[in-house]
Amino acid sequence: NAGVTQTPKFQVLKTGQSMTLQCAQDMNHEYMSWYRQDPGMGLRLIHYSVGAGITDQGEVPNGYNVSRSTTEDFPLRLLSAAPSQTSVYFCASSKLAGGTGELFFGEGSRLTVL
């Protein structure tokens, strides 16, 4: 049972480049979300999805796009990377609504934007 799988684990981008962080879960969870973790700021919610075809904004959505075409996948897109997006990104899924049950996290993706 793989759980939540994120790729890539490390990425270096130049300002203005675009990229997609992939997230897949094999637990048939309806709820999926993306967080970013920055020093001294904890984890902040970027976007979340309560099921295929449904997405919504979290606390810090600017500069990021998401889509949810299947239950399993929830990619996070950076359309034009900025140094402020240098961070560690975590994808998470939950059987219940994201704020009621246990969140299962991926291993994280460390992104550096030069």
Partner 1 sequence: AQKVTQAQTEISVVEKEDVTLDCVYETRDTTYYLFWYKQPPSGELVFLIRRNSFDEQNEISGRYSWNFQKSTSSFNFTITASQVVDSAVYFCALSGMNTGFQKLVFGTGTRLLVSP
Residue numbers at the binding site for partner 1 (CB under 8 A) = 31, 33, 35, 40-45, 48, 50, 56, 58-59, 88, 90, 92, 97-105, 107-108
From CA 85, how far away is CA 105, in angstroms rounded?
Answer: 20
Q: Two tokens at 8? A: 């890539």
Nearer to partner 1, 28 or 40 (CB): 40
- Going by the DSSP 8-state scheme, the letter that residue 84 receives in this structure is G
Q: State the minimum distance, in angstroms, from the CB of residue 113 to partner 1.
A: 20
Give the CA distances from residue 30 to residues 36, 98, 104, in Å, rounded to whole numbers and listed in that order. Answer: 20, 9, 12
Q: State the minimum distance, in angstroms, from the CB of residue 41 to partner 1.
A: 6
Nearer to partner 1, 61 or 75 (CB): 61
Q: State the minimum distance, in angstroms, from the CB of residue 7 to partner 1.
A: 15
The partner residues of 12 in beta bridges, in order of sequence, read 112
